[in-house]
Structure 1
């Protein structure tokens, strides 16, 4: 179906925006009341409601992992334009500020779309790996890595 090819292309493009820290572009495909949930009780965990809060989360992610690179392994699209679900399997890595450690993780994003706009994102990954890496960043002087979650 042509629709799923278009959705796959746009989802891949959104990950490219994240990899290149183009936060406005990354948030462009979200509905105004978008929902975003990330596993864990750490600086990147929690639940947000609203496009602006999700964009703030993207910006924080870029500050706490400035060298983050997410590689997509698989994208699956199911449903119709008025009710679409997208599953994205990915690998992430980033060199950390201590100069010897790396953040490495694997996970799945579940996107829900209506008419090509994302209204829900849930992220499932190893939250303990994220916590360990955030702790390394905080010890290296990046205070925001130890902050509480952005919630709204």
Structure 2
């Protein structure tokens, strides 16, 4: 029963993000967490603060607005004090340059008492990097920006 509840909450979170409400996901993070997106591109990196995660989501939606997630699998194991979740999700979004970005995402989460303590996101980075390169070539310089980390950027 607990595993079904967690799986339903994960599916709901992806639906919320697809509707543009990524803040609900940020609120689901524990006070201390790790959010890691693998690769070497504008969306990669590791974050440990809610503010850095908010900056990351803002960037993600500036670069990939109206992103839609389709959840295929949610696997849950463990108990409320040590829950592990694995997802298989497709992402689909029309890019500002007129092309489409579609990819497969695998995400691994750890939770403790209903709060997310760790997220590891694995995506086909070659496909993502090509999409970011197309955006940069179309004038979206942020597509080539350094990854967002916990460090607060200097004021311009």
Category of TM-score, reference length = shorter chain:
over 0.9
Give the structure-1-normalised TM-score.
Answer: 0.93
Match of 2:100 in 1: 102
Match of 2:153 in 1: none
Match of 1:65 in 2: 64
Shift, 1:104, TM fit: 1.2
Q: Secondary structure at the match of 2:12?
A: helix
Please list the CA deviations of residues 40-69 of structure 1 after superposition, one character each: whole Å capped at 9, or x if unmatched.
111100111122212221121111101311
Is contact 1:18–1:58 with CA below 8 Å preserved after alignment?
no
**Paired residue total:** 150
Match of 1:149 in 2: 147
Is contact 1:72–1:90 with CA below 8 Å preserved after alignment?
yes
Is contact 2:85–2:108 with CA below 8 Å preserved after alignment?
yes
Pairing partner for 1:138 from 120, 136, 140: 136
Match of 1:53 in 2: 52
Moved more, 109-118 or 134-143: 134-143
**Distance in structure 2 (CA, Å) of the matches to 1:46 and 1:76:** 25
Please list the CA deviations of residues 76-97 of structure 1 after superposition, one character each: whole Å capped at 9, or x if unmatched.
0000110000001011111111
Please list the CA deviations of residues 84-135 of structure 1 after superposition, one character each: whole Å capped at 9, or x if unmatched.
0000101111111111x21111121001000111010000110111111011
Moved more, 50-59 or 81-90: 50-59
**Distance in structure 1 (CA, Å) of the matches to 2:107 and 2:89:** 8
Match of 2:77 in 1: 78
Structure 1 segments unaligned to the other structure (5+ residues)? none
Structure 2 segments unaligned to the other structure (5+ residues)? 151-156
Give the structure-2-normalised TM-score.
Answer: 0.91
Runs of 4+ aligned structure 1 residues displaced above 2 Å come to none
Is contact 2:41–2:145 with CA below 8 Å preserved after alignment?
yes
Match of 1:117 in 2: 115
**Distance in structure 1 (CA, Å) of the matches to 2:93 and 2:67:** 4
Is contact 1:42–1:131 with CA below 8 Å preserved after alignment?
yes
**Distance in structure 2 (CA, Å) of the matches to 1:143 and 1:18:** 24
**Distance in structure 2 (CA, Å) of the matches to 1:73 and 1:19:** 15
